[in-house]
Amino acid sequence: MPFAINTAGWLLTENGRQPWIVQGLQLTKDGVSSSVSTTEVAISIVAFLLLYAALTVVAAVLMTRHARKGTDPTEQDDQPAPEMTY
């Protein structure tokens, strides 16, 4: 939930500000970089989408594994906190 709300808030501010990129000072269409092509933008969006999708899967798997293990009281309490060894 916090992730969803955080992202939603961001989407709201970014969309709500349009067509301005800086409210009252510069329009988004005037701020577009002329030397970055649409293809390049598409490549970057797809690349980050794939990267984050892969990381989401890995994170989900790890969290599920961690949750499945549960909290085994004997394992948790008997072991002293690992000490730093130098």
Partner 1 sequence: MFAAFPGWYATLFSGFYLALVLLLAGLIVRGIAIEYRDRVDGAGWRRTWTMLLTAGSLTVPLVLGIALGDLLHGVPIGGDQEYAGTFADLFTGYGVFTGITLTVLCLLHGATFLALKTSGEIRDRAHRLARRTVLPAGLVVLAFVFWTRSVAAGGILVNLVELAAVLAVAAAAWAVSSGRDGWAFSGTTLAMAATVASLFTELYPRVMVSSTNSAFDLTVHNTASGPYALKVMTVVALVLLPVVLVYQGWTYHVFRKRISADR
Among 18, 23, 35, 76, binds partner 1 (CB under 8 A): 35
Distance, in Å, from the CA atom of 49 to the CA atom of 6, rounded to the nearest integer, reads 18
Query: Which residue spans within 1-86 are E strands per DSSP?
Result: 20-22, 26-27
CA angle 83, 85, 86 (to 5 degrees): 150
Tell me if 44 contacts partner 1 by CB under 8 A: yes
12 vs 45, which CB is nearer to partner 1?
45
Q: Which residues bind partner 1 (CB under 8 A)?
A: 33-36, 40, 43-44, 47-48, 51, 55, 58, 62, 65, 82, 84-86
